[in-house]
Structure 1
Amino acid sequence: MLLGSIELRDHDVTCAISDNQMNIKDKVDFPLNTPNETFRNIIKYFKNVPEVKAIGISSFGPLELRNYAPNYGYITDSSRPHWSNVNLLGTLKKYLKVPMSFTTDVNSTAYGEYIFSVLQNKPVMSLVYMTISKGVGAGIVNAGELVGYKGSPEIGHIYPKRHPKDQTFKGTCPYQGDCLEGLISESAFQARFNKSYKEISMFNPIWDIVAYYIAQSAIQSTLLIRPQKIIIGGDIINKIEIQKIKEQFQKLFNGYLSVGDNNNLNNYITTPSNSSTKLAIIGNTALAKKIYYSDANIYAK
């Protein structure tokens, strides 16, 4: 059986086809343009592969994920030009006529991590996947199921305790100011230094401050979810920063609970196992397979 994946990101779209073991058989990328042009490219791709039995869709948001809502399947109030109030799921179902799953981009990536662990015979049944770049997003899998009926958990908008050496920066979140996202996102670096995070030396004390804030989000996730693993990715995360986060976590948490396998912090807080694109394809196709077998009314070809 062949399964499809569609992922809409900030500037591009990835369509892919996998077998029922999540092995990727084909993949194509094209720019995110207007909805009409984007829909044409997606539909044309999958029309050429009629053997695809179900498709998983993930997208930037905000999305309406409540299946009882009148606008279920819509991209709602997007900041991206032309993409507000777009019936993403309904349009694709109309033309492709197969069962489809629908979730956020970070959810599909988190679910991909879960499925990849199962495929490797090292199942991680509960995980938190954080991504830190332009914003701060999170997907949570608990007991093999995504958490958050209305959408992805909004870890980026928790309020961390301010670092002693970072008391005056107001933050950049247009809603909350100094929430986690407002303190550590790419826009926060730009506001702090008037240049990109890429230009900031890893010896700069700001990276310890950022690690302090991220470690707090990892602690809150630990206390609320009790996951097997916390995975932190995104553009601003690298090997040096992940080590700083672990050091801050260990200092702040002070051994309150055993975490991970055998209380091994190196296995508990990690970077992603694969690229976000590959994980999203794995997650989307797994969700597509799940809805194919759970859908009581399999669509007629």
Structure 2
Amino acid sequence: MLGAIEAGGTKFVCAVSDEQINIVDTVKFATTTPAETLQKVIAFFKRYPVTAIGIGSFGPIGVKAGQADFGHILNTPKLAWQNFDFLGVLKAQLQVPCYWTTDVNIAAYGELQAGAAQGLSNVVYLTIGTGIGAGVIVAKKFYYGLSHTEVGHVLLQQQPSDHFSGSCPYHQGCAEGLASGPAIEQRCHKKAAQIPADNPLWQLEADYLAQLCHNITLMFVPERIIFGGGVMHQKQLFPLIRKQLTAKMNHYVSLPPLDQYIVPVGLGDQAGIIGGLYLAKKLVNAE
């Protein structure tokens, strides 16, 4: 059997499947302390004869094998988790091979294998929710340099009419600081789901997300940008983002039809878990 862990900052999701990625069981629980949370993870997987586990974690995390911080959660705002050896603790208890990467990367991989990126090789998956993050896949492999990307923290041009100071404690005017779920809530004093579709806020949100797509397009030239996360349940954003990206790009590069280039996640909230299961299968098959 195969296992997957989607380790989010607010909740964990664990699942097991057969070799054909048919999910057999799933469990969800709140992210609390490392000791309490990992105890629940380990108890779940000890019920099943898993042969490998694909893990996607909130971050930032150490992703370079051979380095001292590999498998650790690094400078996260969740203080109890800072410098925690997630992978080391898990492997010591379960004694199975584990594929370790970011939560957005496993969602990107799920989309590549079974969702909106099937048949492609170069894609970016963006999640717009509690935070903003990106899983970047180049030639069907995760893109790493010194570490994993932190696309949610690129700086954007703030609209003159927007006097919000930004919700990110590190960079205020970055994408996450201006366009994440908490940024919307702090700016409008309402959650995204409570704001009417015709509210001018969505034009502003689309501007910031179009800026992000503009930067991603020029840096990574992906074949497709896939949006997931709670904020993107507001489907009115998609045509607004496409329209604003067209204006910002100003014919500089040739793009596919934008309804094929800027698309919603194909697997919904299952993208991360399905991606983790496919990564576990990759380990088993030694691909």
Do 2:17 and 2:25's aligned partners in 1 also have CA atoms closer than 8 Å?
yes
Deviation, 1:54, is: 0.8
Identical columns (%) = 38
Per mean C-alpha deviation after superposition, the further-off stretch among 27-36 and 172-181 is 27-36
Q: Secondary structure at the match of 2:81?
A: coil
Residue equivalent to 1:285: 277
1:19–1:75: structure 2 CA closer, same or farther, 3 Å change rule?
Answer: same
Correspondence for 1:160 among 152, 156, 172: 156
TM-score, normalised by the number of residues in structure 1: 0.87
Out of 233, 236, 244, which is 1:240 matched to?
Answer: 236
- Identify which of 152, 165, 172 aligns with 1:170: 165
Alignment of 1:203-222 (within 5 A): 203-222=198-217
| RMSD after superposition | 2.1
Q: Kindly indicate whether the alpha-carbon contact (under 8 Å) linking 1:108 and 1:279 is maintained by their aligned counterparts in 2.
A: yes
Kept in 1, the 8 Å contact 2:129–2:180? The answer is yes
**Contact 2:114 2:267 (8 Å CA) reproduced:** no
Change in Cα spacing, 1:150 to 1:14, as seen in structure 2 (3 Å) is farther
Residue 260 of structure 2 is matched in structure 1 by: 267
SS at match of 1:74: coil
Give the SS at the match of 1:17.
Answer: strand
Amino acid at match of 1:285: L
User: Match of 2:266, as an amino acid?
Assistant: S
Alignment-derived partner of residue 62 in structure 2: 64
**Under a length normalisation based on structure 2, what TM-score does the superposition of the two structures give?**
0.91
The residue number in structure 2 matching 1:189 is 184
Q: Once the 2 structures are TM-superposed, how far is the Cα of residue 62 of structure 1 from its aligned partner?
A: 2.3
Deviation readout 1:264-298 (Å, 9 max, x if unpaired): 2111101100123x111221122222233439xxx
Alignment match of 1:198 (pick from 193, 198, 221): 193
Is the partner of 1:69 in helix, strand or coil? coil
Change (3 A) 1:29 1:199: closer
How far, CA to CA, are the matches of 2:133 and 2:194 in structure 1?
23
Q: Distance in 2 between matches of 1:48 and 1:199?
A: 40
CA distance in 2, matches of 1:206, 1:232: 19
Name the SS of the counterpart of 1:139 in structure 2: strand
In the alignment, is the contact (CA less than 8 A) between 2:115 and 2:267 conserved in 1?
Answer: no
Partner-residue secondary structure (3-state), 1:239: coil
Distance 1:186 1:117 in 2: 24
Name 2:5's counterpart in structure 1: 6
Distance 1:15 1:245, change over 3 A: same
* Distance (whole Å) between structure 1 residues aligned to residue 146 and residue 94 of structure 2: 25
Find the aligned partners of 2:29 and 2:198 in 1 and give their Cα distance.
38
- Number of matched pairs: 286
1:27 maps to what in 2? 26
Following the alignment from structure 1 to structure 2, what is the Cα–Cα distance between the partners of residues 162 and 228?
Answer: 27
Asked if the contact 2:53–2:276 (Cα under 8 Å) also holds between the matched residues in 1, the reply is yes
Structure 1 spans left out of the alignment, 5+ residues:
296-301
SS of the counterpart of 2:110? helix
8 Å CA contact 1:106, 1:152 repeated in 2: no
Secondary structure of the residue aligned to 2:231 is: coil
Query: In structure 1, what is the Cα distance between the partners aligned to 2:48 and 2:107?
Result: 24
What secondary structure does 1:86 align onto?
coil
Please report how far the alpha carbon of residue 164 of structure 1 lies from its aligned counterpart in structure 2 after TM superposition: 4.7
| Counterpart Cα distance in 2 of 1:235 and 1:115 | 22
Does the 8 Å contact 1:230/1:268 carry over to 2?
A: yes
Structure (1 or 2) with the larger CA radius of gyration = 1
Structure 2 alignment gaps of length 5 or more = none
**Quick check: 1:104–1:151 contact (8 Å CA) kept in 2?**
no
Superposition map of 1:24-103 within 5 A: 24-50=23-49, 52-80=50-78, 82-103=80-101
Displacement, 1:102? Answer: 0.6
Q: Cα distance 1:34–1:191, how it changes in 2: closer, same or farther (>3 A)? A: closer
Distance in 1, matches of 2:247 and 2:280, equals 41
Q: 1:133 aligns with which of 121, 129, 134?
A: 129
Q: Give how far 1:191 is off.
A: 3.2
Which AA in structure 2 matches 1:132?
Answer: I
